[in-house]
Chains A and B, each alone.
Chain A
Amino acid sequence: MTIEARFHINRGGFTLDVDLSVPARGVTGLFGPSGCGKTSLLRAIAGLEYHRDGFLKVDDTIWQDAERFVPPHRRSLGYVFQEASLFTHLTVRGNLEYGLRRVPRAERRIPFNNAIELLGIRHLLERRSDTLSGGERQRVAIARALAVSPGLLLMDEPLAALDLASRQGLLPYIESLHDELEIPAIYVSHTLEEIARLADHLILLEAGRVVATGAVNEMLTRLDLPLAHGSGAASIVEAVVVGHDQEYHLTHLDFVGGRFIVPRRAVPTGGHVRLRLAARDVSLTLERQSQTSIQNIFAATVDQVIPEGKAQVMVRLLVADVPILSRITQKSAVELNLKPGKSVYAQVKSVTLLA
């Protein structure tokens, strides 16, 4: 189950040169600065743009090679554009049914009602598409793409055209796709936070080239990549809810390296959550502190230390085998004599629950 893509696109001073192989499951984030070729690559994968000498294979189906070019309407894909691009001559229902009617009954794997429920748009069905808010429009566009039961879902910055409130409102819906459906997706974004929330796998694109690919928490903590630097540097930990503390209103979350205790969240026991640990919220000690307000302390091993500007260093730690970032001052690093292999305790001041 892989997606193999080779494209060489040369267009007026811009060159996109990629040779990719990514798993065709879960969400693959396609991340990079604006103008790095993310959208061009996604359009080439969809077949919306034809480029000579391209090669594209999704699972066992060849969509493009030297002899073949399957036109977009014969590819089993769903595409969500940056602007919702609903058909203004149709109602919401008309938009949703447009693709559905063109898919043979036997190939409809996602029941129409599921697509509507997942995106919470049942009350909008009879509305005209130009009377919807930006967030509603994008939800309809996503449901419309799902209604064709695509084998691959392509999303081109579906949140970029929305204001902050609509963006926050739409994210949970997109997250739920990930949990509820088995459709592999490629999600384009230039916002690291979205990638951290949604992606399992990450392709890092820069100036038309693939810089690196890999599992998202590996990629976010690779000190040789730009993702692990700057004020947004953070690591991701997948954890399971093991219980709630009724007395203190806390939730207990376990991962291979230990247990997080966080303010209570309405996630049922057994539920999976993704935690984001900002590098600046992780401090280091050589001995386990006992008299401290910090609840989340983990035994860790220093994996790598590199300077971050003049005053600070970025430390990559391994808690069990989970990579975590810690940003501390150069002075502390010297005083603690941090080097690879050294055992330390990571104190996590705060964590963000992503989903």
Chain B
Amino acid sequence: MMFSEADLTALVITFKLAVITTITLLLLGTPLAWWLARTHWRFKFMLEAVVALPLVLPPTVLGFYLLIALGPNGPVGGLVEWLGGRPPAFTFAGLVIGSVIYSMPFVVQPLQDAFSTIGRRPLEVAATLRASPLDSFFSVAVPLARPGFLTAAVLGFAHTVGEFGVVLMIGGNIPGATQVVSIAIYDHVEGLEYAHAHWLSGGLMLMSFIMLMVVYALNRRFRVVRP
């Protein structure tokens, strides 16, 4: 016996969640980080504070507000229901929404740092070499920010895998639907099933280690920024 069927399902859900969350975060976080790195807007600090909020907020606080917002009586859940959909509370979609918000700073901050480090000069050079702003973003800014993208992807992924409080609050720990590995481990320990807890914990640790090794090997300049 290695993993029970429920454990395997939890593993699959966890990685599906981490992959979808990371992709969503890179798509949303890149333009946001780019804008934050380049704008001279005087109230930029307010937006930066909002993005960084999950770093300091207890996950249960964030999970609680999300649960209320995404539930059938909340503004988002109510709207979805009115549109004929299912309120995202206690669903996989709810997990994704919660994870995206919770892991946002881990993606936006390394990207913003990377874009700031590049500075304006390479983009000015690109402009004098006939590259439009969009062209120079993809041909200069993104390649130069590669270490930042790697850091962002790894941190976003790892942080989502390691999430507990938010997914517990918003997902409700429904086996086969919203139960992720970290909660499954907790359940095993609660039920004194230490063998199961070992397999899951050890497996997660091994996978995290391999993932980081691969990334380090791919990019020598890569640094994991401690949040």
Q: A87-B122, A89-B144 are in contact. Are A72 and B139 (CB under 8 A)?
A: no
Would you give the shortest CB distance from A45 to chain B, in whole angstroms? 11
Q: Does B143 contact A (CB under 8 A)?
A: yes
A89 to chain B: which residues have CB within 8 Å? Answer: 140, 143-144, 146
Partner of B144, one of A71, A88, A102, A148: A88
A binding-site residues for B, Cβ under 8 Å: 46-48, 71-74, 77-79, 81, 83, 85, 87-89, 98-99, 102-103, 144-145, 148
Nearest residue (CB) in B for A78 is B128
Does A99 lie within 8 Å of B129, measured CB to CB?
yes
Q: Does B28 contact A (CB under 8 A)?
A: no
Would you give the shortest CB distance from A184 to chain B, in whole angstroms? 16
B130 to chain A: which residues have CB within 8 Å? Answer: 73-74, 99, 102-103, 148
Does B131 lie within 8 Å of A102, measured CB to CB?
yes
Q: Does B53 contact A (CB under 8 A)?
A: no
Task: Determine the distance from Cα of A81 to Cα of B144 in the docked complex, in whole angstroms.
Answer: 19
Partner of B127, one of A48, A87, A88: A48
Q: A85-B121, A87-B122 are in contact. Are A46 and B128 (CB under 8 A)?
A: yes
Q: Does B124 contact A (CB under 8 A)?
A: yes
Task: Determine the distance from Cα of A144 to Cα of B129 in the docked complex, in whole angstroms.
Answer: 8
Q: A73-B132, A81-B121, A89-B144 are in contact. Are A98 and B139 (CB under 8 A)?
A: yes
Does A73 lie within 8 Å of B144, measured CB to CB?
no
Nearest residue (CB) in B for A89 is B143
Task: Determine the distance from Cα of A325 to Cα of B129 in the docked complex, in whole angstroms.
Answer: 43
Nearest residue (CB) in B for A83 is B121
Task: Determine the distance from Cα of A103 to Cα of B121 in the docked complex, in whole angstroms.
Answer: 21
Instruction: Give me the 4 closest cross-chain CB pairs, A-B, nearest first.
Output: A99-B129, A102-B130, A79-B128, A72-B127
Nearest residue (CB) in B for A107 is B130
Q: Does B125 contact A (CB under 8 A)?
A: yes
Nearest residue (CB) in B for A77 is B128
Does B125 lie within 8 Å of A72, measured CB to CB?
no
Task: Determine the distance from Cα of A81 to Cα of B129 in the docked complex, in whole angstroms.
Answer: 12
Task: Determine the distance from Cα of A99 to Cα of B126 in the docked complex, in whole angstroms.
Answer: 8
Known contacts A98-B129, A102-B129, A148-B130; 12 additional CB pairs below 8 A are A71-B132, A73-B127, A73-B132, A77-B128, A81-B125, A85-B122, A87-B126, A89-B140, A89-B146, A98-B131, A99-B128, A144-B129
Interface pairs (25), CB distance under 8 Å: A47-B127, A48-B127, A71-B132, A72-B124, A73-B130, A73-B132, A73-B135, A73-B136, A74-B130, A78-B128, A79-B128, A81-B124, A85-B121, A87-B144, A88-B144, A89-B140, A89-B144, A89-B146, A98-B129, A99-B128, A99-B130, A102-B130, A102-B131, A145-B129, A148-B130
Task: Determine the distance from Cα of A85 to Cα of B125 in the docked complex, in whole angstroms.
Answer: 7
Task: Determine the distance from Cα of A46 to Cα of B128 in the docked complex, in whole angstroms.
Answer: 8
B146 to chain A: which residues have CB within 8 Å? Answer: 89
Nearest residue (CB) in A for B140 is A87
Task: Determine the distance from Cα of A171 to Cα of B172 in the docked complex, in whole angstroms.
Answer: 72
Would you give the shortest CB distance from B80 to chain A, in whole angstroms? 42
Q: A81-B121, A85-B122 are in contact. Are A148 and B127 (CB under 8 A)?
A: no
B121 to chain A: which residues have CB within 8 Å? Answer: 81, 83, 85
Partner of A148, one of B122, B129, B143: B129
Would you give the shortest CB distance from B126 to chain A, in whole angstroms? 7
Task: Determine the distance from Cα of A155 to Cα of B127 in the docked complex, in whole angstroms.
Answer: 15
Partner of B128, one of A83, A88, A103, A145: A145
Task: Determine the distance from Cα of A108 to Cα of B128 in the docked complex, in whole angstroms.
Answer: 15
Task: Determine the distance from Cα of A46 to Cα of B140 in the docked complex, in whole angstroms.
Answer: 20
Chain A proximity mask over B102-126: 1 for CB below 8 Å, otherwise 0: 0000000000000000000110111
Task: Determine the distance from Cα of A46 to Cα of B143 in the docked complex, in whole angstroms.
Answer: 25
Interface residues of B in 126-154 (CB under 8 A from A): 126-133, 135-136, 139-140, 143-144, 146
A98 to chain B: which residues have CB within 8 Å? Answer: 126, 129, 131, 139
Most chain B C-beta atoms within 10 Å of own C-beta, residue among A47, A71, A85, A148: A85
Nearest residue (CB) in B for A79 is B128
